[in-house]
Structures are given as structure tokens and as C-alpha cells.
């Protein structure tokens, strides 16, 4: 099935000069595409280059090298035209005017894109209700909760009709309930309006719950890119946790060290042996080693890997090969 490419990045690079030091590559020759009606997540540790990439797409930072095409328009050749279909919300509370009310913020940001607020009154009302801000529409933004401020920020990015929404850490600093509400809204936006959302995040729940695809960055480079479910499948081998009464012997530890992807966690009254099965035979090897000295197995749990485990493994691998 063909997909509509709405954003194409080719060889994007950003170098920063540091006095008396070699130039630093904040973003190092990355290429990717984003498609209509998807949530694309950028994941990576601090300093990986996620936010710098977003800012270059928005033309807030000038790229050292590379090309960016937004809805087919080369942003290097026609900056203003390319930015007509893109809107961004950056981390923090700098995206809205605190003294303006909810409705006034939406009217103001719509006007920045050339819309007459009076002519899009119905659309403004729609987003006030969509983001569950009806009861607060005449309240100054500074009096809203952190979660409501974030919803208002995203609403201001939506109201101008842009097809591509860039979100930098959309759930940062939110409590569990507010974070869940934002994730739910993002999925609804894509489903109901066929928008494209590109977001950066440290929150694995955001990636696992909302992203169709994910790009993992480390040290300015893309180290993994695929559908979220495919990345999870890379590490979908069965994982078991053996809980053993007391301590295990030095001889058992020595044998366990010969088994790949096996971890031992010793506690005061018990020992946990965690294995990731590449081969089902490993399961029986563990039980054989434990039975040698009549170790008592209190429990065996089947564990599921989550995206955090995937992320740590990929980043760890990229650092080793860097």
C-alpha cells in the first residue's frame, strides 16, 4: 500500500563549533520520512539530537547540511511556503500566552497563520470541546493546570489547520492521569483528522501507546528505525524469572555465567535468575544446574519485555559500536 510522504529529510547535519575544540555533530547525516496519518516517535537519551532535528525542520535552527521537504516543498528554497503546513509545540510553557484566555490563545495562534478568528469560530469551538477545555475557555492560561496548559498548547498547534504537528516532549512534567489523557488525544487526532504527528519523548509509555513507528537516535545518529511493533518483536523472545530460595553456590554461578542473556540478582532470602530464551534448551539447562544442588525453586514467572528494555539494548549496542 502506498503511503503519502509529507516530510522527507535527506542527509540532515548540524555542527556546532566549540572554542579551541573540534566541531561537534549534534545531528550527523540523518535521513528519514514521515507519512500522512501516523505518529512518528523520536526516542533517545539527552543530547541525542532529537530536539535539534525538530528545530531544523521548523527552520528555527539552520542546518549545516542536508535537505528538508515539507509536503514536497524544499524548505531551503521556499522557507515560508514549506512552513505553512507545519506547526510545533516545544517542551515547557513557552507555547501559549499566559495572560490570554483559552479562547484568546486559540484566536491569536490562528491569526498568526493568516486565519480570521471570526471566520473559523466553529473550528475554535470544536478544539475547545475536543480538548475538554470548555469549562476553562474564559480562564487565563496561567491559571490552568499543567495538563490543561499542555492540551491548550497542542490545540493552538492544531487550530491553524496544519497537517504536520511537531511535539517536543508532550508529556514531560505531567502526572499519570494527564499523561494518559494527552496520549489518548494524540491517537484521536491522528484517527479522526488524519494528521501526522512527530514527537520526541523520553517516556516509553508514550512510544508504546501512541507511535506507529519510532526512530531511535544516539549521539546525533539514527541507530534504529522501524514500526514500533517490529522493534518490540526484535526482543520478543520469551523471558523467565526463576525465584530460588536462599543463595546459589559458586559452582552454580560459574555454570550460569556460561549461559548468554542470563542475569543473577541476589537478595537477602532468595535469588532471582532472569533468562531471555534464544533457545528453549536454555530453560532446561537452568533447571538442571539448580537441581544439581537441590536448590528450591519458589516460583517461575513468564516476563514480557517492554519498550524500555528494547531501547536500552539498542542504545547499548550503538554505544559499543560507536
Query: Is 318 domain-assigned?
Result: no
Residues 102 and 174 in one domain: yes
Residues 154 and 279 in one domain: no
The β-bridge relationship of strands 239-245 and 270-276 is antiparallel
**Model-level pTM?**
0.75
Residues 209 and 254 in one domain: no
113: domain CATH number?
A: 3.40.50.300
- CB 222, CB 301: distance < 8 Å: no
Residues 150 and 243 in one domain: no
pLDDT of residue 201: 87
Query: Is 199 domain-assigned?
Result: yes
Question: Number of structural domains, the chain?
Answer: 2
Query: Is 309 domain-assigned?
Result: no
Expressed as residue numbers, the domain containing 83 is 5-226
d(CA 90, CA 67): 22
pLDDT of residue 63: 96
C-alpha cell at 178: 494527564
pLDDT of residue 306: 66
Mean pLDDT, each 10-residue run in order, the chain (322 residues): 83 87 88 96 90 94 96 93 91 84 95 89 94 95 93 92 92 86 91 93 86 93 90 70 93 91 89 80 87 89 71 68 44
d(CA 166, CA 89): 6
Of how many residues is the chain composed? 322
Query: Is 319 domain-assigned?
Result: no
267: domain CATH number?
A: 3.30.70.980
pLDDT of residue 41: 95
Residues 150 and 186 in one domain: yes
Q: Of the candidates 158, 192, 226, which is a domain's last residue? A: 226
Longest dimension (CA), the chain: 80
Residues 6+ apart with CB under 8 A from 217: 30, 42, 43, 44, 48, 49, 50, 53, 223
Residues 105 and 63 in one domain: yes
Residues 192 and 249 in one domain: no
Residues 17 and 143 in one domain: yes
Q: Of the candidates 191, 226, 261, which is a domain's last residue? A: 226
Amino acid at each position: 500500500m502506498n503511503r503519502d510522504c509529507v516530510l522527507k529529510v535527506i542527509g540532515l547535519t548540524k555542527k556546532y563549533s566549540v572554542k579551541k575544540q573540534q566541531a561537534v555533530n549534534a545531528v550527523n547525516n540523518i535521513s528519514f520520512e514521515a507519512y500522512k496519518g501516523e505518529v512518528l516517535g523520536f526516542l533517545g537519551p539527552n543530547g541525542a539530537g532529537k530536539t535539534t532535528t525538530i528545530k531544523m525542520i521548523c527552520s528555527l535552527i539552520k542546518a549545516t547540511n542536508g535537505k528538508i521537504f515539507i509536503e514536497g516543498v524544499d524548505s531551503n528554497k521556499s522557507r515560508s511556503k514549506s512552513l505553512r503546513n507545519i506547526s510545533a509545540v516545544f517542551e515547557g510553557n513557552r507555547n501559549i500566552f499566559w495572560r490570554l484566555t483559552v479562547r484568546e490563545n486559540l484566536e491569536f495562534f490562528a491569526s498568526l497563520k493568516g486565519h480570521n478568528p471570526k471566520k473559523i469560530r466553529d473550528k475554535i469551538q470544536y478544539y475547545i470541546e475536543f480538548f475538554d477545555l470548555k469549562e476553562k475557555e474564559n480562564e487565563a492560561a496561567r491559571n490552568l493546570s499543567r495538563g490543561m496548559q499542555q492540551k491548550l498548547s497542542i490545540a493552538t498547534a492544531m487550530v491553524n489547520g496544519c497537517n504536520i504537528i511537531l511535539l517536543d516532549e508532550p508529556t514531560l512534567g505531567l502526572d499519570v492521569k494527564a499523561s494518559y489523557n494527552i496520549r489518548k488525544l494524540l491517537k484521536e487526532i491522528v484517527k479522526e483528522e488524519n494528521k501526522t504527528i512527530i514527537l520526541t519523548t523520553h517516556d516509553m509509555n508514550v512510544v508504546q501507546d501512541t507511535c506507529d513507528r519510532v526512530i531511535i537516535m544516539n549521539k546525533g545518529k539514527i541507530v534504529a528505525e522501524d514500526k514500533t511493533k517490529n522493534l518490540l518483536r526484535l526482543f520478543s523472545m520469551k523471558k523467565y524469572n526463576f525465584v530460588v530460595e536462599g543463595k546459589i553456590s559458586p559452582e552454580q554461578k560459574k555454570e550460569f555465567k556460561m549461559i548468554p542473556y542470563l542475569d543473577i540478582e541476589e537478595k537477602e532470602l532468595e535469588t532471582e535468575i532472569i533468562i531471555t530464551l534464544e533457545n528453549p534448551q536454555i530453560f532446561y539447562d537452568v533447571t538442571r544446574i539448580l537441581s544439581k544442588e537441590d536448590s528450591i525453586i519458589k516460583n517461575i514467572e513468564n516476563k514480557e519485555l517492554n519498550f524500555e528494555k528494547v531501547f536500552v539494548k539498542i542504545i547499548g549496542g550503538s554505544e559499543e559500536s560507536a
